[in-house]
Structure 1
């Protein structure tokens, strides 16, 4: 009997049957599941993507396929940290899915086509735009802001929230009284606002 097994057995005796169940229940990592679909392609992922210790390579390969560029179908290995942010925000917002993804990885050509930022995190497969029912945008965005990781862009009029694993920052329709920890608000650029208005008439 190993020392770890002995200690668990001793704890089980000391805590009784209910305490023993609770003690053993906390032993070992818990798999993290994710359910999403890409709106443009219909591709889906539904299952565990992380074993509780590290991202699962096969699942990440599947996610990279689902989150590929929707115009060219080009695939880039997706950043596990971006998936971590998506999973955590969805968990906090209590959204089981499937989450609807407007945009994942973008090639430079696709990014120009949709008038994305020149340094967009989509270009490195580190960002997702999540389409939500109008009544869920504020709550989802608020959880993303409270998480304080990566970039958060809230687009209430278009019913989506941008999440990424880049520097901590925030922009868009930010709710009153909710601040992103350590965030640097993105400056308002009139030309960028014009480009965004134009992009609303194009594919996401």
Structure 2
């Protein structure tokens, strides 16, 4: 069987289970006497390291599409080994919401890093408890002209972790505990955030040699 088809089949099964649990856990939001009409959520996404692309809906407004999530999981696979782990739908939702609020939902989003194996994470000097290790984090390239808007949208969500790297032109988004860090200059979201011990500093340089062949 073709390796990609096998991975897609296995990942679809795993994501389907996650999707069902997520859908059941979601609150029933109603507007008066009638439920709000569901709205399809679409993404255009490209992985910078592999060139792999996704374009289309991943969520029908009620639940994630397991097939689309399986495809996203493959696109966001570890770029060194090609290892695939079912990607956390909550992290994809955060990315979609940030892009929507920043009015970038019709643009192609460029992902620098998605899932990482422990070996790849160590090779790029990632944090030992990185959310990338559980396929729950995305590092997204953001042009300097759009960075403040993306930052403000991400912080306003109050969901997961937000790391802003203005000098390196990317934003980290994850579905872990709510926290924030980075080196962005002051703006509407509040005072500048203090930069922590920056183990991610060499990531962009380190990603270049890693290509899924």
Alpha carbons of structure 1 residues 34 and 197: separation in structure 2 relative to 1, 3 Å: closer
Structure 2 Cα separation of the partners of residues 200 and 31 of structure 1: 33
User: Which residue of 172, 197, 206 corresponds with 1:202?
Assistant: 206
Alignment of structure 1 residues 56-71 onto 2, 5 Å? 56-71=65-80
Give the TM-score, by structure 1 length.
0.78
Q: Is the 8 A contact 1:145 1:179 kept in 2?
A: no
For residues 120 and 82 of structure 1, what CA distance do their matches in structure 2 show? 13
Counterpart CA distance in 1 for 2:157 and 2:185 is 15
Q: 2:51 is matched with which residue?
A: 42
Partner of 1:99: 109
Alignment of structure 1 residues 121-200 onto 2, 5 Å: 121-176=131-186, 178-179=189-190, 188=196, 192-193=197-198, 195-199=199-203
Secondary structure, counterpart of 1:202 in structure 2:
helix
Q: Is the 8 A contact 1:142 1:175 kept in 2?
A: no
Deviation at 1:137, TM superposition (A): 1.5
Find the aligned partners of 1:94 and 1:170 in 2 and give their Cα distance: 22
Displacement of 1:118: 0.3
Deviation, 1:82, is 0.2
Q: Where do 5+ consecutive residues of structure 1 fail to align?
A: 1-25
Whether the aligned pair in 2 keeps the contact of 1:126 and 1:164 (CA below 8 Å) is yes
1:187, distance to aligned residue in structure 2 (A): 7.8
Distance in 1 separating the partners of 2:55 and 2:147 = 22
Does the C-alpha gap of structure 1 residues 30 and 199 become closer, same or farther in structure 2, counting only changes over 3 Å? Answer: closer
Secondary structure in 1 matching 2:126: coil
How far the C-alpha of 1:27 sits from its partner, in A, is: 6.5
Structure 2 match to 1:120: 130
User: Could you say what the CA RMSD is over the residues aligned between the two structures, in angstroms?
Assistant: 2.1
Tell me what 1:81 maps to.
90
**How far apart are 1:125 and its partner, in Å?**
0.2
- Number of aligned residues: 171
Note the C-alpha offset of 1:117.
Answer: 0.4
What corresponds to 2:4 in structure 1? none
Secondary structure of 1:129's match? strand
Q: Who is 1:32 aligned against?
A: 41
CA distance 1:175–1:168, shift in 2 (3 Å): farther
Higher radius of gyration, 1 or 2: 1
